[in-house]
A and B are shown apart, each in its own frame.
Chain A
């Protein structure tokens, strides 16, 4: 899922 990107941000 390309949208998962920013779930690694705080």
Chain B
């Protein structure tokens, strides 16, 4: 565990806490894409199947359980909470998830490192995570007056994957046999999707204006 990896995981955790804070404090999930949240739950579910087969560390197990628990609780609030569910922008959240789920599944079947069910599902989760933010970015573009917590949530999510790239560079330089091009390419693509958002996020911050995407 290096400092970049720890910082990345903590940023990821904080992003989720910021989203939960938004939902609890404002009793609203306005501007949040349920499609992206569904995709993240799927990502965690398929990636962490090894919870039952492989023990890595207490840190690893606890974090996996936290990510699973929080992602499903967010979905619960957005779908079923009697107040929160009414604030969901269903009409605006129109991205068709099937257009990214199917290609990712096909890609995972074709390009993977081991022909086993667990490994293919794990690879699928890597591909899917790379593009799971797309419905959220589309929804943000359609949202007038993006609130601070929503903007910071997306910013932290992008930062988390960017920090993972530093972690991969560090591990590549310090650990022999550390080669993971499937993860690296997906991670770079994932971070790249945020470049546009980052640009407008910093512009709004510098000019002290509310964030909005053109």
Contact = CB atoms under 8 A, between A and B. Distances in A.
Interface of A: 1-3, 5-10
B124 to A, nearest CB: 14
Dominant SS among interface residues on chain B = helix
A8 B171 CA distance: 12
A8 B5 CA distance: 11
Interface of B: 5, 9, 12, 50, 54, 56-57, 60, 63-64, 67, 113-114, 122, 164, 167, 171, 175, 177-180, 183
B4 to A, nearest CB: 11
Contacts, number: 33
Contact of A3 (B12, B56, B180): B180
B122 A3 contact: no
Contacts of A8: 56-57, 60
B179 A7 contact: no
Contacts of A6: 180, 183
A3 B177 CA distance: 8
Given A10-B60, A10-B63, A10-B64, A5 B9 contact: no
